[in-house]
Homo-oligomer: A and B are copies of this chain.
Amino acid sequence: MASSYLLCFTICSLVLFNVCLAQLEQVSQMSPTTEQRRGQQQRWVSECQIERLNAAEPHRKIESEAGNTEIWDENDEQFQCAGVTAVRHTIERKGLLLPAYANAPRLLYVVQGRGIQGQAIPGCPETFHSESGSQRKDIPRDQHQKVRRIREGDVVAVPTGVTDWIYNDGDSQLILVQIVDVGNDANQLDQNMRKFYLAGNPQQELQGQRELQGQSERERQSRHRRPRGSQQDNAGSVLSGFSERILAEAFNIDTNLAQKIQNRKDRRGIIVQVREELRVVMPESGREEEEHEREQGRRLQPLPINGIEETFCSARMKHNIADPKHADVYTTRGGRISYLNAADLPILQHLQLSAEYGKLYRNRVESPHYNQNSHSIVYIIRGDGRMQVVGDNGESVYNGQVREGQMIVVPQNYVVIKGAGENGLEFIAFKTHDTAKISSLAGRTSILRAMPVEVLMNSYQISREDARRLKEGRQDVTA
């Protein structure tokens, strides 16, 4: 009898024990979630627990019909700290990047090629027209808003919530690198980059399905980003989420056309091949165009939509930063640097962003410096070199090579030295302040030059002669 009791008890006890274990497991499973949230939390508040930067290649690639899109890892600590998402579009000839807007201001740099960009701003006048592709007399000319020619070296500003599209009408690939400044005040959502497509069926970009298989378990479980899996089936343009009927009513079209513009079966991705070529008549590129833009700005008044003047209508949105004649610093032996801020391109004040372009000749080393009031997101356009970045503890957070196509964040106030390799070094740096300021430690306009020689002598425990050498060893301005 005792043994039957025992058996009963044993079974009962094991059952209970399993319940206990099962619950334990459940509780334990919450822990990784908790850990992941820690990461997320750091992102939101951009904690910059930078221990190591890296010269990063893009993290995932989405193929489209007429090009591809590469996105840098949003979970990479350096991008989280800077509060930006970085993207590179490669648009093939006659490729069209579909119209979309984002929840934060964007700064684009044209790495290669030429094309046309349109920014659609409701309330601005439709002052441009396209010739119809078929040239048939019975088709009236199409009126639309200003479009702008973009070419290698251009920095293009796109404000938060402004829809733009880009068309490659050049002879080679059009390559664009851009940052989306999700940490910007103008983004009132959260620090996820959100791209709202007006057309197409861009689930691939948004879900990053392909590389999900390639990434680590940790990242897959990560909740840094919104879980996209559940929305896998219905990801699409913003139009796809409405009912056909209300869409037809709102656009005053039939439900058949409403269904078409929802593009639910579209498999072309976000860069599509243009069948009917775009023929936009526009002033010739170069100085005339800019003058035209400016003059147009003076003459045209926007419709009084939203109750306030739409100053965006006449604003210039681009500037060629790579043009040698715009260089701010130039030395025959060192290289050149151009700064682009609100003084040159006023819209940048609105965007709270600016840029710096640099070309270092082979084996040249620039002055040690730090960004006084912004982060600096550096993209290597061409060439290679080395970089050292040092933080507030004197800790080295980067000491290594950089090469074409890589991106690295230099956090605010961290000291950096870039040196060109055998092939020189050409870079664009996006800055998270509309009037980014640099403080050089060496050279003619440096901090050390600004201090009395006795301060240097006593600070570094060096002789007067050494202090003078330190102040005057480097004579150029910056590069």
Interface check A60, CB cutoff 8 A: no
Q: Are B367 and A147 in contact (CB under 8 A)?
A: no
Q: Which residues of chain B are near A461, meaning CB under 8 Å? A: 260, 263, 266
Q: Which residues of chain B are near A44, meaning CB under 8 Å? A: 41, 44-45, 47
Interface check A404, CB cutoff 8 A: no
Give Cα A411 to B24, complex, Å: 39
Central interface residue in A132, A280, A305, by most chain B CB within 10 Å: A305
* Interface mask (A4-40 → B, CB under 8 Å = 1, otherwise 0): 0110011001001100110110111011001001101
Q: Which residues of chain B are near A30, meaning CB under 8 Å? A: 31, 34
Closest to A94 in B: B458
Interface check A162, CB cutoff 8 A: yes
Q: Are B439 and A130 in contact (CB under 8 A)?
A: no
Residue of B6, B183, B328, B439 near A307 (CB, 8 A) is B328
Give Cα A123 to B372, complex, Å: 13
Give Cα A464 to B279, complex, Å: 14
Give Cα A162 to B413, complex, Å: 10
Q: Which residues of chain B are near A291, meaning CB under 8 Å? A: none
A192 to chain B, nearest CB (A): 8
Give Cα A102 to B255, complex, Å: 49
A433 to chain B, nearest CB (A): 8
Q: Which residues of chain B are near A394, meaning CB under 8 Å? A: 234-241
Q: Are B307 and A445 in contact (CB under 8 A)?
A: no
Residue of B103, B246, B251 near A470 (CB, 8 A) is B251
Give Cα A366 to B456, complex, Å: 48
Q: Are A442 and B250 in contact (CB under 8 A)?
A: yes
A449 to chain B, nearest CB (A): 7
Give Cα A41 to B223, complex, Å: 13
A270 to chain B, nearest CB (A): 10
Give Cα A284 to B15, complex, Å: 81
* Interface mask (A209-229 → B, CB under 8 Å = 1, otherwise 0): 000000000000000001010
Those of A149-198 within 8 Å (CB) of chain B: 160-163, 165, 167, 183, 186-191, 194-196, 198
Give Cα A163 to B441, complex, Å: 10
Number of identical monomers bound together in the oligomeric complex: 3
Give Cα A453 to B49, complex, Å: 49
Q: Which residues of chain B are near A21, meaning CB under 8 Å? A: 20
Among A67-75, A107-115, A340-348, A421-429, the one that faces the other chain is A340-348
Q: Which residues of chain B are near A203, meaning CB under 8 Å? A: 393
Interface check A272, CB cutoff 8 A: yes
Q: Are B450 and A120 in contact (CB under 8 A)?
A: yes
Residue of B96, B189, B375 near A413 (CB, 8 A) is B189
Q: Are A393 and B454 in contact (CB under 8 A)?
A: no
Give Cα A123 to B329, complex, Å: 13
Residue of B99, B133, B189, B470 near A253 (CB, 8 A) is B470
Q: Are B344 and A194 in contact (CB under 8 A)?
A: no
A419 to chain B, nearest CB (A): 7
Q: Are A458 and B276 in contact (CB under 8 A)?
A: yes
Closest to A338 in B: B307
A335 to chain B, nearest CB (A): 14
Central interface residue in A3, A38, A439, by most chain B CB within 10 Å: A439
Contacts A1-B3, A477-B305 hold; do A368 and B459 have CB atoms under 8 A apart?
no
Residue of B120, B276, B307, B456 near A341 (CB, 8 A) is B307
Q: Are A452 and B419 in contact (CB under 8 A)?
A: no
Interface check A378, CB cutoff 8 A: no
Q: Which residues of chain B are near A83, meaning CB under 8 Å? A: 188
Q: Are A372 and B160 in contact (CB under 8 A)?
A: yes
Contacts A445-B303, A460-B199 hold; do A308 and B343 have CB atoms under 8 A apart?
yes
Q: Which residues of chain B are near A412, meaning CB under 8 Å? A: 103, 161, 187-189
A365 to chain B, nearest CB (A): 5
Q: Which residues of chain B are near A257, meaning CB under 8 Å? A: 462, 466, 469-470
Give Cα A28 to B24, complex, Å: 9
Interface check A301, CB cutoff 8 A: no
Cross-chain pairs A/B with CB under 8 angstroms, 22 sampled: A2-B2, A13-B13, A26-B28, A48-B190, A103-B412, A120-B447, A122-B440, A126-B450, A130-B454, A188-B432, A203-B393, A239-B368, A246-B388, A251-B442, A251-B474, A253-B470, A257-B469, A263-B461, A276-B457, A307-B341, A307-B344, A308-B341
Q: 6 closest Cβ contacts across the A-B interface?
A: A241-B390, A161-B372, A236-B394, A199-B459, A120-B450, A307-B339
Known: A126-B450, A252-B473, A306-B437. 15 other contacts (CB 8 A): A9-B9, A13-B17, A40-B41, A49-B226, A130-B452, A194-B391, A196-B413, A199-B459, A234-B394, A238-B370, A239-B415, A249-B419, A263-B460, A280-B452, A305-B478
